[in-house]
Chains A and B, each alone.
Chain A
Amino acid sequence: MNKFWIMLSHTYMTRLKTKSFLISTIITLVFIVGLANFQTIIEAFDDGEDKIAVIDESNELFETYKQSVEGVNEEMEIVAYDGTEEEGKAAVQEEDYKALIVLSTNESQLPEASYYANTISDSSNQQLLSQQLQQLKVAIATQQAGVDEAALADIYAPVTFETTALDEAAKSQEELSQARGIVYVMLFLLYMTVMMYGQMIAMEIANEKSSRVMEILVSSASPVTHMFAKIFGIALLGLTQVTLFVGVGYYFITTKQDELTGGFFEIFGIQDTSPSIYIFAIIFFILGYLLYATLAAMLGSLVSRVEDAQQMIMPMIFLILIAFFIAMFGIGMPDSTLVVVSSYIPFFTPMVMFLRVGMLDVPIWEIALSIGIMIATIILLAIIGARVYKGGVLMYGRSSSFKDLKKAMALSKKDK
């Protein structure tokens, strides 16, 4: 056990000190800080409020229009312009105003407008301005037609469309969108983790093999100890990195709560979900990591050169990709047969079963069964992995095919 910790801390410390690790961590942190301050950064480049000059030829639309536009977008300031249209255009060109709107009424007394700006690429502002005018027009038109205000309010009121799941255990719409958010986060996190750290494990082992230090290592500690020290050492490294990211992210979220809540968090529904889904997320995440990490370690032990490691872990990458795509597809139809079946295939379970748990009301025995299958697979893979590892670490050759897997197993086999 003692050797396990020595190897684990060595893996952790040497990896922690590598340049590539430090650089990737710093880049991601900068990215997180950037994302958290997105609003501020956008505003920094923005020259404050957009002033829009309005020439009101009808002499009656201005006030209502100003109120309705400013009510929707605080950043916009509608200013009455006293000069002529030509002067107004000149003022826009000199960038005194963002745009010029000439309001008028047509023969049926309905509002119309012309919009002048240096560029007309900012479609969101134009849309907003035109929408508000549209509303104004509808109001005026209905008034002219003699429809009273109360009737108008009724027309505009949204239709009642209530969705109710008849199965009492089924999740409500609200719960579903929250679960969807967590499932997305979990899918991406697991995908990234397996991609990054799985690769790291395979590389690390291939590296020790190519430098032949492996022979010394396995003569001082058993290959199984070594394999798991690597897996957990890298896991600890990942934990450090993720903790750092989450910590920094959390700091910015709490300091910038006002700006951010209601935006990102509502979309992902992370605000108030039941704790059980988090527990499942953690269980499936840990098991998923262990499963893929063991596979990565096994594959890494088969190559003798670092360059071959990339090629060797392709099957692992395909597996996680397939799992990811099934899960992404399944998020829209979580009870399709494909999703149900693949949620029991151990390499897909952490993503697909978690998706089902999040989106549907899966009976507990099904979850237990899938977790059981996963644990069994991990143990099986660890046993095979340890044997492949024991033979593989001493095997040096040019090829890096799956024939080697058999060879490695044979090499470590005990003849009875």
Chain B
Amino acid sequence: MTLLLKDVTKRFGQHTAVDHLSLEIPTQEMFGFLGGNGAGKTTTFRMILGLLDVTEGEISWNGDTINYDKSHLIGYLPEERGLYPKLTVKDQIVYLGKLRGMKKSEALVELEAWLKRLKVPEYMNKKVEELSKGNQQKIQFISAVIHKPELLILDEPFSGLDPINVELLKEAVVDLKEQGTSIVFSSHQMDHVEELCKHLCILHKGNPVVQGPLRDIKQSFGKKNLVIHADFPLEFLKEYPGVIRYKKVMEGCELQIENEAVSQDIFTALPGKGFIRKFDLEEPSLNDIFIEKVGASYE
């Protein structure tokens, strides 16, 4: 039960949208796809779904190629809202559910449960165009998961939602994962990926710049963050050997350092200068990694 992408390349004429991407997404995992705008995330998803043909390479799900016979096993939430504005939520979801191989009665039961869970049971008979953007996104989400897919592809699932609804959807996504759904999702909000995914891949201009388990990525990144809050000026650290980046904040500074050893040096250099309120060695955030990796290839 794995989704396997082998050396996948997609070219549109001269332009290469995805360049030799190889991935293995294990079952019951949440896989995060990161990338700036135009990085090739949506193109990759469309290739997985079979909407676009790959130029080179192979995509398989449990060893088989994905085609329309398997569409009842797959759920898809596209980046843009894709619903019939004039149809009611009920008609809409029942139709889309039927296309994914459900019976009308099943779809109705599931829909009711989902609307309740997402705290919008009163929308059953409303037209989609009457709903707010965030609530439309909930309906869109339901349309992607109503048929209990084995593979769920979420393209920017949390955009347009307020923090409370983001939490609501996150919980739902985690539950689906626990129940055995493999989930691939993309975002450019690092914190969501950091929170939810064990595995991830950062795409930049079609190239996978970083990929693997989150922990390994962080460890192999090597660089650490050091936060120091102190009563005396810290400017001298800017030129300190091993310091890559210096950022002044209200109560002190935030440093990016080459490795853990540098923090030891700094620690021994500080005493006697004044009062130190905080000295904290942190793992790099995904944000740092992203900026570093993607930023580097901009140059």
Contacts and interface: CB of A to CB of B under 8 A. Distances in A.
B52 A220 contact: no
Contact of A211 (B12, B13, B83, B95): B83
B99 A220 contact: yes
B68 to A, nearest CB: 5
B53 A216 contact: no
B118 interface: no
A212 B100 contact: no
Contact of B53 (A6, A14, A412): A412
Interface string A1-27: 001001100100010000000000000
A216 B51 contact: no
B51 A215 contact: yes
Contacts of A211: 82-85
Given A219-B74, A220-B96, A220-B100, A212 B82 contact: yes
A212 B81 contact: yes
A6 B104 CA distance: 11
Nearest to B83: A213
Contact of B11 (A10, A14, A415): A415
Interface in B91-150: 91, 95-96, 98-100, 143
Contacts of B1: none
B49 A410 contact: no
Given A6-B99, A221-B68, A394-B46, A216 B76 contact: yes
A218 interface: yes
A216 B68 contact: no
Q: Which bracket fits the contact residues of B?
A: 20 to 34
Contacts of A412: 52-53
Contacts, number: 68
A220 B102 CA distance: 12
15 contacts: A3-B99, A6-B98, A7-B99, A212-B78, A215-B82, A216-B143, A219-B50, A219-B71, A220-B96, A221-B71, A225-B68, A394-B46, A411-B12, A413-B53, A415-B55
Interface of B: 11-13, 46, 49-53, 55-56, 68, 71, 74, 76, 78, 80-85, 87, 91, 95-96, 98-100, 143
A93 to B, nearest CB: 62
A216 B74 contact: no
B292 to A, nearest CB: 33
A394 B99 contact: no
A3 B70 CA distance: 13
Contacts of B87: 14
Contacts of B56: 415
Given A212-B83, A214-B82, A217-B99, 17 more contacts: A6-B95, A208-B84, A211-B82, A212-B80, A215-B51, A215-B78, A215-B80, A215-B82, A216-B76, A216-B143, A219-B74, A220-B68, A220-B99, A394-B52, A410-B12, A411-B52, A415-B11
Contacts of A118: none
A15 to B, nearest CB: 11
A223 to B, nearest CB: 9
Contacts of A208: 84
Contacts of A221: 68, 71, 99
A398 interface: no
